[in-house]
Amino acid sequence: MAKSILICDDAAFMRMMIKDILSKNGYAIVGEAENGVKAVEKYNETRPDLVMMDITMPEMDGIQALKKIKAADPSANIIMCSAMGQQAMVIESIQSGAKDFIVKPFQADRVLEAVKKAVG
């Protein structure tokens, strides 16, 4: 069965790009969220195998959403996406339980490598 993935990013084109890369490689996209609040809601609804989480989002940022999801489900697999120059946030997200991080703008092979490492 295809691994299920939730994509969280406030930019619709980024969600579309990630969705395109993953669906072309056999992953099932079970939901999308445009902010951290929606990300937590969608996670609880869909319980995906993996979450692709942007760090900088309105209402609740990706790190807060990561912490909420991990508190509710310690086994959650989450990969953070960040722009260059967000090293402190990347470190905080890894310490908070993120499996990996990818830096924008990202290459398809780097996205796939991170996803395969996280969920196979």
What are the φ and ψ backbone dihedral angles of 34, each rounded to 5 degrees? -105, 0
Share of the chain above pLDDT 70, in %: 98
pLDDT of residue 33 exceeding 80, the answer is yes
pLDDT digits (tens, 9 = 90+) for 35-52: 999 999 999 999 999 999
Domain edges within the chain: 4-27+36-115
Q: Minimal CA–CA distance to 33: which of 72, 70, 69?
A: 69
pLDDT of residue 69 exceeding 80, the answer is yes
pLDDT of residue 104 exceeding 90, the answer is no
**What's the pTM?**
0.93
Tracing tokens 């996209």 back to the chain, one arrives at 29
* CA dist., res. 120 & res. 37, Å (int): 27
**Other CB atoms within 10 Å distance of the CB of residue 103:** 15
Residue type (1 letter), 3:
K
The domain over range 4-27+36-115 is classified in CATH as 3.30.70.20: no
Confidence of residue 66 (pLDDT cuts 50, 70, 90): very high
pLDDT digits (tens, 9 = 90+) for 76-96: 999 999 887 777 888 899 999
* CA dist., res. 79 & res. 102, Å (int): 7
* CA dist., res. 107 & res. 112, Å (int): 9
